[in-house]
Homo-oligomer: A and B are copies of this chain.
């Protein structure tokens, strides 16, 4: 709500906006992404739970598998409206209608660049075709959403003519796509408000992020009267992607005071699911859903958030399904050390804080990160206490990989008992994951839920890889294990052991 009254001095903000999710259509068009039918169904259900108003399921003409997946999702009876894409021709529209979805999204390009180089049609021919196809679709009793592709590079008078013609032909809503991610907020405001003046049907906006402006352009459209926003989870999509759903929705709720049906606290889970199934990795520094979005390292910032989280956090992390993290490194100050030690139940003297901080900064200057395990080791060394003992210890890890797959051997000591575990898989991670399942059986009710690997890309020196492993204990609390090693496979094994230790620790506490 932060700025609603200030923004309202210049623009008329709606109370609510609709979210048109296109993760499964424009998002899947991300070069290199291909989802299976099961992947698409899983994502559609997650989006439905998230509370988006419309889910664009795909472009059925693209492939047989795409068509089948869409038809299966359409039968799921989701709360969200379902939609598919169709070019302005009968073949595409027939295929779309066959899918049994609620909305058909018909598009045709309207910019002179596209008319000349792609469609080889005149402006009048485009209007004629668009209206004829909208009428054709409306004759089949579907809701029609009409996009004038490349709107932002289309002559504005002509664009209004196109939209008025399709509105008369029966289109239920129109969409203004910034197809090449070329617009700026001022221009979006001019286009949307001009179109708004001539139309009665709701207006949608569809932005691409080629200049990093997709979210701002979407919000500018809302300021000028757009009521439907096209967005994708994690901002995936053609080239630099589309407007990020998570950023648009959080900005609308917290900055604009414009409500949507989206359940904010579910955003992070859906983001992780889409990351996993598409393979498009969310960078650490991504707003809302990135690993660092609620992490703090610098001394000044940690001091601030410990006193009052508001000082350096625009949104409460729990509101979007996240948790605050304090990271140790060369920018750390004494407040980080005190706070992290406190979390492990240790109170340090000023002198002890100084010693640990000096060591952390020293390691930082040599380019090293400090993991939680290493911090614990420092703590134990400094205070010479052994009650935070590690329950599981890696004695040796051995991986053997060929094109056929990987075999992993893990020599461990768990609660004093030596053991060797083996696992086979199509790669190093799968082999270790198979071991992981065996291990986690020892703590009943727990299971491996997810993981992330960051490979530090470096040619000159071998950097460290970081692995974060999410496991669930039997209370369904998330336990996060971390590992850092030159090899990501070894880091994965370390993360596994780290998570296991925490699970054993918690069980231990309960048994006391």
Contacts and interface: CB of A to CB of B under 8 A. Distances in A.
Max count, chain B CB within 10 A of own CB: residue among A210, A215, A426: A210
A46 interface: no
B294 A284 contact: no
Interface string A219-238: 11001000000000011111
A285 interface: yes
A288 B213 contact: no
Given A6-B190, A32-B466, A403-B490, A239 B294 contact: yes
A304 B239 CA distance: 14
Given A209-B287, A219-B184, A331-B29, A304 B36 contact: no
Nearest to A279: B456
Copies of this subunit: 2
Contacts of A66: 330, 365
Interface string A37-68: 10100000000000000000001001111100
Given A220-B185, A402-B397, A488-B455, A285 B117 contact: no
A487 B401 contact: yes
B297 A29 contact: yes
B448 A459 contact: yes
A165 to B, nearest CB: 22
Interface in A363-391: 363-369
Contact of A490 (B182, B283, B401): B401
Nearest to A286: B240
A352 interface: no
B62 A361 contact: yes
Contacts of A398: 400-402
Given A281-B455, A283-B280, A427-B462, A34 B365 contact: yes
Interface in A421-469: 425-430, 433, 448-460, 462-466
Given A31-B296, A32-B327, A212-B251, A458 B276 contact: yes
Interface string A3-44: 100110011000000000000000011111111110100000
Interface stretch (A123-131, A166-174, A195-203, A312-320): A312-320
A329 interface: yes
Contacts of A457: 275-276, 279, 281, 451-453
A293 B26 CA distance: 14
A211 interface: yes
Nearest to A301: B238
Interface residues of A, number: 158
A486 interface: yes
A341 interface: no
Contacts of A248: 212
B280 A312 contact: no
Contacts of A150: 311
Contacts of A114: 304, 311
A241 interface: yes
A142 interface: no
Interface in A263-317: 275-277, 279-288, 290, 292-301, 303-304, 307-308, 310-315
A299 B180 CA distance: 16
Given A280-B285, A367-B39, A255 B184 contact: yes
A31 B292 contact: yes
Contacts of A175: none
6 A-B pairs closest in CB distance? A65-B365, A216-B216, A279-B456, A212-B247, A427-B487, A241-B285
28 contacts: A31-B296, A31-B325, A33-B329, A36-B367, A64-B365, A66-B330, A117-B304, A117-B307, A150-B311, A182-B255, A184-B219, A210-B315, A212-B235, A216-B217, A239-B292, A240-B290, A241-B285, A275-B457, A276-B460, A280-B283, A281-B454, A399-B401, A399-B402, A402-B490, A406-B487, A427-B489, A430-B486, A488-B488
